[in-house]
Chains A and B, each alone.
Chain A
Amino acid sequence: MRAAVLAVALASVAALSGCEREKRDFEPPTGSASGAAATRNVSVRAGPGEPIETARLATTQDRRDEYNAFLVNQGKRLFRWYNCNGCHAQGGGNMGPPLMDDKWLYGHRPAEIYASIVEGRPKGMPAFGGRIPEDQLWQLVAYVRSLSGQLRKDVAPSRADGLAGAPPENVRDIERPVQQPAPKP
């Protein structure tokens, strides 16, 4: 009897995680600003970015994008479209630092990556705040984390229909993030 209950419980957990993973939600999240003007005039500090307006961003700490395969895949598409590859290659880095390794200059947590994209970073990372809508930013954040294997294997995207520069994100080993000292400005 107990075994049956356990089996049902396990199945339900698996099932519900399936529900979350597969949802395709087309309604824009309420109150999605484009991370806009508020972040434009703030000076950038080196080191793990203290996320600006932590109060606002804190509610987005538990962004569900990381558990939704569709949104992570959208992030992958946006990474391609917005030409992140131009500096970051397919995660291997070039002019910009690699995103698929374990070294993080400005923080590996979702809110920190969000801040990096919105505010820009020294030595060439543009500030995309105001240019990329908020829901797309979170999709990009989730995708960037998948580059170093941080996402669950069934949510991380698989191979793209293009030239493959690296193994697909869903087969990468987890690179446990290691905070690097911030570079001298």
Chain B
Amino acid sequence: MKRALHLVVAVAFALAGALAWAQRTVLQPGAHDALAPAGPQAARIGDLWDLFMVICGIVFAAVLITLAVALRRAPRADAGTPADVSMADRHEPGPYRSVLVGVGASIVLLFVLLVASVSTDRALARLPLQGALNLTVTGHQWWWEIRYDGDPVSETFTTANELHVPVGRPVVVTLRSDDVIHSLWVPALAGKKDLIPGRTATLQFQAAQPGTYRGQCAEFCGFQHAWMAFEVIADTPEQFAAWAARQRAEAAEPTDEKLRRGREVFLGSTCVMCHAIGGTDASARKAPDLTHVGSRTTLAAGTLRNDAESMTRWIRNPQQIKPGVNMPSSTLADADLQALVAYLGSLK
């Protein structure tokens, strides 16, 4: 009996370890992977994950092996075999002890998991926040409005669907929603937090190394929930400062006839009803701010690459790419559309 128990525990350990190793190495992490941490928050969660995998793996294996042994050693029977009621109302010491040991071990392990979980939770809430960068993200159906709160206030600027953060500096994001519940989630950096209308939440994270990390909305929010993504680009502090300075500036002036025509098309047609471009008369806030749209890596909330061809397709018929999205199709003539795309592409 004791030898069987030792065997069970040994095999369980081995299996759990193998599974944890396989998961971290063999399965290639993608662009958007909770197990490829790039910041202290996600790393702490990753450590907790490892502990859970090991303990849960051991328990799972132990239960199954015990069951397998039970099934193998029990004699066979059929419907006619008389049932054994001799133990009715009698104490069965063997099974009683085993069940007690099993339950006792379960309670101890559960307690370990509980303590680990709560202490990780507290550590996550204690990310040092000196010199934090402050952002406000407002969720819309189906895009992200990102406002960098400037100090002084005149340095505030707004962008959409792309966050830049300096490496090594804590970021405090204030989360609001304009319509329904969304959820901000960048798996490589931190756990998620819901953006709930009528409430303000905060999320803290920090990027430990430069890179591009993808995030996606993680609360069902309507037709285009599937394509409501964004990017977090971790820059070196110098790169970040340069980027922020560019973002604060007004939109680039058109330098040639085609770009000028593009701006005219923008200001003269339906675009201005929803989009803003700093430095022009367009100041509507119902759709992503386009002041520096040319500088972004993606379009349409992380759905398309930001190049002329995608931008043209998007403006011509957004419903083809993201059915149900709030942006209407356009009926611009080809030449006008090309000029518009060129102009928007120039807004770096």
Report which A residues bind B (CB closer than 8 A): 24, 26-28, 32-34, 77, 81-82, 130-133, 135-136, 161
What are 14 of the A-B contact pairs (CB < 8 Å)? A26-B323, A27-B319, A28-B319, A28-B328, A32-B331, A81-B284, A130-B268, A130-B270, A131-B269, A131-B270, A132-B273, A133-B329, A133-B331, A161-B197
| B296 smallest CB distance to A (angstroms) | 23
Least CB separation from A70: chain B residue? B324
Judge whether A28 and B329 touch: CB under 8 Å.
yes
Judge whether A34 and B317 touch: CB under 8 Å.
no
| B203 smallest CB distance to A (angstroms) | 23
- Whether a CB of chain A sits under 8 angstroms from the CB of B274 is yes
Pick the contact of A34: B197, B269, B272, B319 (CB < 8 A): B269
- Whether a CB of chain A sits under 8 angstroms from the CB of B286 is yes
Q: Give the chain B neighbours of A161 by CB distance below 8 A.
A: 179, 197
Indicate with 1 or 0, residue by residue over B274-296, a CB within 8 angstroms of chain A CB atoms: 10000000001010000000000
Q: Give the chain A neighbours of B326 by CB distance below 8 A.
A: 77
Total contacts A-B at CB 8 Å:
40
Judge whether B270 and A132 touch: CB under 8 Å.
yes
Q: In the complex, A135→B318 CA distance in Å?
A: 14
Between B268, B269, B272, B273, the greatest number of chain A beta carbons within 10 A of the residue's beta carbon is seen for B273
Interface residue tally for chain B (C-beta within 8 Å): 20
| A55 smallest CB distance to B (angstroms) | 19
Q: In the complex, A28→B323 CA distance in Å?
A: 10
Judge whether A34 and B270 touch: CB under 8 Å.
yes
Given contacts A27-B319, A131-B269, contact A81 B328 (CB under 8 A): no
Given contacts A28-B317, A130-B268, contact A135 B328 (CB under 8 A): yes
Other contacts beyond A34-B269, A34-B331, A81-B286: 15, CB < 8 A: A24-B223, A24-B324, A26-B323, A28-B329, A33-B331, A77-B326, A81-B273, A81-B274, A81-B284, A131-B269, A131-B273, A132-B273, A133-B270, A133-B328, A133-B331
Q: Give the chain B neighbours of A81 by CB distance below 8 A.
A: 273-274, 284, 286
Q: Give the chain A neighbours of B179 by CB distance below 8 A.
A: 161
Least CB separation from A74: chain B residue? B326
Judge whether A130 and B269 touch: CB under 8 Å.
yes
Q: Give the chain B neighbours of A26 by CB distance below 8 A.
A: 319, 323-324
Least CB separation from B285: chain A residue? A81
Least CB separation from A83: chain B residue? B284
Judge whether A131 and B272 touch: CB under 8 Å.
yes
Least CB separation from A80: chain B residue? B286
Indicate with 1 or 0, residue by residue over B243-270, a CB within 8 angstroms of chain A CB atoms: 0000000000000000000000000111
Q: Give the chain A neighbours of B323 by CB distance below 8 A.
A: 26
Q: Give the chain B neighbours of A131 by CB distance below 8 A.
A: 269-270, 272-273
Q: Give the chain A neighbours of B317 by CB distance below 8 A.
A: 28
Q: Give the chain B neighbours of A77 by CB distance below 8 A.
A: 326
Q: Give the chain B neighbours of A135 by CB distance below 8 A.
A: 328
Between B317, B326, B331, the greatest number of chain A beta carbons within 10 A of the residue's beta carbon is seen for B331
| A71 smallest CB distance to B (angstroms) | 12
Q: In the complex, A82→B328 CA distance in Å?
A: 14
